[in-house]
Amino acid sequence: MIIKSVLKTGVVAIASFITCSHVSATESMSASTLDVVSESTQQSAISHNPLTLGAHNDSQANSHSGDNLWGYSSKGREVFDVVTSEGNIIKAVDVNGTAYSGDIILGNTRALKNFGLKIVQSDEDEALIQQNRRHEIHGTVIQPTSGAKWPNGIVPYVLSSNLTTAGRNAANYGINHWNNNTNIQFVPRTNQSDYILIQDSTGCGSNVGRVGGMQTVNLASGCGNRGGVHELGHAIGFWHEHTRPDRDNYVSINWNNIPSANQHNFNKQTGSAGRGSYDFYSIMHYRLNEWGINGSQTIVPQVSGVDTSRVGYGSTLTSGDISAANYLYPGSGGGGGGGQTDTPIQNGYSTTLNINSGQWRYFTFQVSSNANLQSISAQTSGGTGDADVFIRLGQRPTGQSGSACSSAQSGNTETCTVNNPQPGTYYIGVLSWTGQGYTTPVRNANFSFSTTTNSNGGGRGNTGGSTSFANISGAAGSWTNHEIQLPSGMSSLNVTMSGGTGDGDLYVRRASLPTQQSFDCRSWNSNNNENCSVANPAAGTWYVSVRGYSSFSGANINVEWSP
């Protein structure tokens, strides 16, 4: 489903809970081409924005006990109810005259107490945004709004001169990532009345949606690439995934592990209707130990198969994030990934890849029902950076989980092969890997795609096949899942895992993700050397999964099936 949760059918913005493409020209934009606001201009703009009057003092916020990059403690501060125009309640903490809910800037505390929060229902409420733009004399405040959408998905921005190098890098990463994967387009401001000012602060924060005039996105040096994508997600209209009204069906909140002064950050946003599946890996999801006392777990998944090592740690949009953004902004902006058709390819296709760090390039290959293919294979080589290659049947790969094959070696030399491919559309994704301080983009890498045909000329399902998954890692208690498609007529399925360090346990199951209690085969030795064999496996989808008994890394899996 396309959107995780939007406040109500017909709401065009905001209060939304919102899971690639060829590199666009905007990715090469340097900071020097941007409209960098001066400090005097910045302060003047802030003083005239009704929703940022009385903005918090950075030095005070930085030293306040219990604060962190992603929100404010209520210790020694007032917590109050913000009443929306629909009669719902949002818990907020007052920080020197500005109301926050986690890292979300709700607006001026006095205005919110006096007028509540207007939820924009249609483009007819554009008059409220026009009102917000006005510079009222004597600091007069007007009714704040949880903003409208950005017209045509175009979001003008300014990078403040006070940004640190890390903050500027995070801003540019976030801008490029949204531009290249969705219909949203962040563009340098020229003379637009409504725009975002991306500035340094003591934490990470943003308004939700367009509020009118200048509005701020705060990116401290520690926010990182995830913070850049996350805060810009708020700016276009997304709330946090874990505050969905239906979240209790998917997670429980361990209130005993959360200091009382921070519990307001976990309140549900009531009055909205969930649309689409809950996305544990959304860029808008908290970490599972966010605000936890001594790092203890605060959010507990209530469904099986969740890779806990990924929740709240990614720096890229999930397919659900992308679909949700394109639902709110259909066909606007002319952006890269989400609105662009994946590149269809055939046997013998080749091209040169240039992909910015953390970005994807996607291709598709159609296997017909009467094809007699022995294998399909994608390869990369040459150039600089670190390209990883994934192939998945039926949808874009987002990593190893669910992919029919993956190749994630160091550097650009990768080969990803699917043997005995089933009918349907295969998506080939190439990721410019970033992590552990490595941020070099893929440049001038060779990409090629090829197929091989069964020499016996017979129909499908009469031959065996194999696939592999390389360099698998995970934390203790985490799950890494892989999907394979078995043809009919197979007499054996054999899965082996080896290499690396730590202790990962191997699970195999047909049709559903395995759990510790439900599986067709399990191997749990005291290292990464595991083997699972299934006799006469039924045709269809099988899952090969690894659960970390302890943390593990560098493991390799080989899967073979025979008639």
Task: Please give the residue range of the domain that contains residue 518.
Answer: 465-562
pLDDT above 90 as % of the chain: 22
- Is the pLDDT at 397 greater than 60? The verdict is yes
438 and 520 housed in the same domain: no
Same domain, 373 and 414: yes
Q: What is the average pLDDT value for the chain, to the nearest integer? A: 75
**Tens of pLDDT, residues 305-329:** 888 888 988 888 887 888 788 777 8
Judge if 89 and 207 occupy the same domain.
yes
- pLDDT, residue 53, reads 24
Domain boundary pick from 332, 365, 385: 332
Predicted local distance difference test score (pLDDT) of residue 333: 36
pLDDT in tens, 211-247: 888 899 999 988 999 999 999 998 988 888 888 888 8
What is the CATH number for 82? 3.40.390.10
Q: Which of 332, 367, 384 delimits the end of a domain? A: 332
Number of structural domains (the chain) is 3
Q: CA–CA distance from 348 to each of 179, 377, 404, 444, 448 (Å)? A: 30, 10, 21, 19, 7
Task: Please identify every residue annotated as catalytic.
Answer: 231
Tokens coding 53: 């009057």
Residue 434 clears pLDDT 50, i.e. is over it: yes
- Write down the pLDDT at residue 147: 55
Q: Is 240 annotated as a binding residue?
A: yes
Among 58-62, 380-384, 439-443, the range of highest mean pLDDT? 380-384
Residue 271 has pLDDT above 90, yes or no: no
Shared domain for 234 and 357, answered yes or no, is no
Q: Would residue 37 count as lying in a domain?
A: no
Highest mean pLDDT among 148-152, 196-200, 301-305: 196-200
Q: Model pTM?
A: 0.49
Task: Say if 259 falls within a structural domain.
Answer: yes
Indicate whether 477 pLDDT > 70.
yes
Dihedral sign from CA coordinates of 58, 64, 70, 72: negative
Q: Is 234 annotated as a binding residue?
A: yes
Domain boundary among 453, 477, 497: 453
- Chain-centroid distance of CA 302 in Å reads 21
Task: Report yes or no on 62 lying in a domain.
Answer: no
My answer on whether 75 and 224 are in the same domain is yes
Gyration radius of the chain over CA positions: 25
pLDDT for 41-52, tens place per residue? 333 333 223 222
Does 294 lie in the same domain as 413?
A: no
- Range 79-88 average pLDDT: 72
Residues 379 and 238 in one domain: no
Residue 309 lies in a domain: yes
Instruction: Tell whether 21 is covered by a domain.
Output: no
DSSP class of residue 55 equals: P
Q: What single-letter amino acid sits at 538?
A: A
Q: Is residue 230 part of a domain?
A: yes
Is the pLDDT higher at 424 or at 9?
424
Q: Are 543 and 413 members of one domain?
A: no
Task: Round to the nearest angstrom and report the end-to-end CA distance of the chain.
Answer: 37
Residue 36 domain-assigned? no
**Percentage of the residues of the chain whose pLDDT score is greater than 70:** 76
Q: What is the mean pLDDT of residues 83-95?
A: 74
Same domain (yes/no): 94, 186: yes
pLDDT value at 28 more than 60: no
Tell me: do 428 and 471 sit in the same domain: no
**pLDDT tens-digit readout, 340-379:** 456 788 888 888 887 777 778 888 898 887 778 888 999 9
Residue 135 assigned to a binding site: no
Structural domain includes residue 520: yes
Q: Are residues 108 and 231 in the same domain?
A: yes
Residues 415 and 497 in one domain: no
- Indicate whether 274 pLDDT > 50: no
The pLDDT of residue 85: 61
Which of 78-92, 146-160, 431-445, 523-537 has the least mean pLDDT?
A: 78-92
Cβ-contact 432, 358 below 8 angstroms: yes
List the 350-355 sheet strands across, edge first: 350-355, 442-453, 373-381, 414-419
Q: Is the pLDDT of residue 423 over 50?
A: yes
Give which of 204, 228, 286 is closest to 434, Cα–Cα. 228
The pLDDT, as a whole number, for residue 362 is 87
* Domain at 508, CATH number: 2.60.120.380
pLDDT level of residue 19 (50, 70, 90 thresholds): very low
| Confidence class for position 40, pLDDT limits 50, 70, 90 | very low
